Amino acid sequence: MEWFTALNVARIQFAFTVSFHIVFPAFTIGLASYLAVLEGLWLATGRNVYRRLFRFWVRIFAVAFGMGVVSGVVMSYQFGTNWSRFSDLTGPVLGPLLGYEVLSAFFLEAGFLGVMLFGMNRVGRGLHFFATLMVALGTLMSAFWILSANSWMQTPAGHLVNAAGQFVPEDWWAVVFNPSFPYRFVHMVLAAYLTTAFIVGGVAAHHLLRDSAQRDSRVMFSMAMWMATLVAPLQVVAGDLHSLNTARHQPMKVAAMEGHFETRRGQPLILFGIPDTETSTVRYAIEIPNGGSILLGHAADAELPGLDRLARDDWPHVPLLFYSFRIMVALGLIMVSIGLWSLVQRLRGRLYDTPSLLRTARLFAPGGLVAMLCGWVVTEVGRQPYTVYGLLRTAESVSPVELPAVAGSFAAFVIVYTAVFGAGVLYSLKLMREDPAAAVERVEGEDREHIGMLRRRTAWGRPEQ
Amino acid sequence: MPELDLALIWLILLGAAVLAYVLLDGFDLGVGILFPFLGDEPQRTMAMNSVAPVWDGNETWLVLGGGGLFAAFPLAYAVIMPALYAPVVAMLTGLILRGVAFEFRGKTERRRELWDRSFFAGSLLATFCQGIILGALLQGIPMENRAYSGGWWDWLTPFSLVTGIALVAGYCLLGATWLVLKTGGNLQRRARRMARGFAWATLAGIGVFSLWTPFLQEGYMTKWFGWPALLYTAPVPLLVLATGVLLFKSLGRGRDLAPFLSAQGLFVLCSIGLWISFYPYVVPSSVTLWDAAAPDASLGFLLVGAAVLLPLILAYTAGVYWVFRGKLRPGEGYH
Residue spans of beta strands (DSSP E) within A383-436: 386-388, 392-393
- The secondary structure of residue A352, as a DSSP letter, is S
Q: Is residue B97 part of a domain?
A: yes
The shortest C-alpha distance from B120 to chain A (Å) reads: 15
**CATH label of the domain that carries residue B249:** 1.20.1630
Residues of A in contact with B96 (CB under 8 A): 70-71, 73-74, 416-417, 420
Q: Are B259 and B250 in contact (CB under 8 A)?
A: yes
Number of domains composing chain A: 1
Rounded to whole angstroms, how far apart are CA atoms A102 and B62?
A: 10
Rounded to whole angstroms, how far apart are CA atoms A369 and A329?
A: 13
Rounded to whole angstroms, how far apart are CA atoms A204 and A123?
A: 31
Residue A56 has pLDDT above 70, yes or no: yes
- What confidence tier does A214 reach under pLDDT thresholds 50, 70, 90? confident
Q: Is residue B2 part of a domain?
A: no
Residues of B in contact with A61 (CB under 8 A): none
Find the domain containing A418 and state its range: 1-178+402-465
Q: Are strands B287-288 and B281-283 parallel, antiparallel or unpaired?
A: antiparallel
H-run or E-run covering A443: helix A436-454
Rounded to whole angstroms, how far apart are CA atoms A341 and A215?
A: 21
Residue A158 has pLDDT above 80, yes or no: yes
Is residue A369 helix, strand or coil?
Answer: helix
Residue A456 has pLDDT above 60, yes or no: no
Which pLDDT value is given to residue B330?
65
Q: Are A67 and B98 in contact (CB under 8 A)?
A: no
Residues of B in contact with A74 (CB under 8 A): 92, 96
Residue spans of beta strands (DSSP E) within A76-185: 159-161, 167-169
Residue A465 has pLDDT above 60, yes or no: no
Q: Which residues make beta-bridge pairs with B85?
A: none
Rounded to whole angstroms, how far apart are CA atoms A451 and A283?
A: 68
Number of Cβ atoms within 10 Å of the Cβ of A237 = 11
CA–CA distance from B196 to each of A19, A71, B28, B259, B311 (Å)?
A: 46, 36, 18, 10, 35
Q: Is residue B334 part of a domain?
A: no
Residues of B in contact with A402 (CB under 8 A): 152
A284-334 pLDDT, tens digit per residue, is 888 898 888 988 888 888 888 999 898 888 999 999 999 999 999 999 999
Chain A to chain B, count of Cβ pairs less than 8 Å apart? Answer: 263
Q: Is A336 on the interface with B (CB under 8 A)?
A: no
The shortest C-alpha distance from A155 to chain B (Å) reads: 19
Number of Cβ atoms within 10 Å of the Cβ of A442 = 12
Q: Is residue B335 part of a domain?
A: no
Binary contact (B302, A67; C-beta < 8 A)? no
Binary contact (B67, A66; C-beta < 8 A)? no
Q: Is residue B133 part of a domain?
A: yes
Q: Model-level pTM?
A: 0.92
* B77: nearest CB among A80, A402, A412: A80
Mean pLDDT of B302-322: 93
Is residue A253 helix, strand or coil?
Answer: helix
Q: Which residues make beta-bridge pairs with A269?
A: A288
Which pLDDT value is given to residue A463?
46
- In the stretch 62-91 of chain A, residues with CB closer than 8 A to chain B read 62-63, 66-67, 69-74, 76-77, 79-81, 84-85, 87-91
Q: Is residue A204 part of a domain?
A: no
Rounded to whole angstroms, how far apart are CA atoms B216 and A412?
A: 32
Q: Is residue A22 part of a domain?
A: yes
* A87: nearest CB among B78, B103, B332: B78
Rounded to whole angstroms, how far apart are CA atoms B228 and B120?
A: 46
Model ipTM value: 0.91
Which pLDDT value is given to residue A450?
63
Q: Is A120 on the interface with B (CB under 8 A)?
A: yes
Number of domains composing chain B: 1
Q: Is residue B332 part of a domain?
A: no
Q: Is A113 on the interface with B (CB under 8 A)?
A: yes
Q: Is residue A313 part of a domain?
A: no
Q: Is residue B329 part of a domain?
A: no
Is residue A288 helix, strand or coil?
Answer: strand
Burial of A212 (0-12, 13-18, 19+ CB in 10 A): middle
* Radius of gyration for the alpha carbons in chain B, expressed in angstroms and rounded: 20
Q: Is residue A267 part of a domain?
A: no
Binary contact (A102, B64; C-beta < 8 A)? yes
The rounded Cα A206 to chain-centroid distance in angstroms is 23
Residues of A in contact with B316 (CB under 8 A): 107-108, 111-112
CA–CA distance from B308 to each of B298, B313, B315 (Å)?
A: 16, 9, 12
- The secondary structure of residue B327, as a DSSP letter, is P
Binary contact (B100, A424; C-beta < 8 A)? yes
CA atoms within 13 A on the CB side of B99: 32
Non-local CB neighbours of A37 within 8 Å, separated by 6+ positions: A223
A29-40 pLDDT, tens digit per residue, is 999 999 999 999
Binary contact (A103, B85; C-beta < 8 A)? no
Which pLDDT value is given to residue A1?
63
Find the domain containing B109 and state its range: 7-323
Rounded to whole angstroms, how far apart are CA atoms B193 and B247?
A: 13
Rounded to whole angstroms, how far apart are CA atoms B206 and B184?
A: 30
Number of Cβ atoms within 10 Å of the Cβ of A454 = 14
- What confidence tier does B175 reach under pLDDT thresholds 50, 70, 90? very high
Is residue A180 helix, strand or coil?
Answer: coil
The shortest C-alpha distance from B80 to chain A (Å) reads: 8
Rounded to whole angstroms, how far apart are CA atoms A14 and A4?
A: 15
What is the DSSP secondary-structure string of A74-103? HHHHHHHHH-HHHHHHHHHHHHHHHHHHII
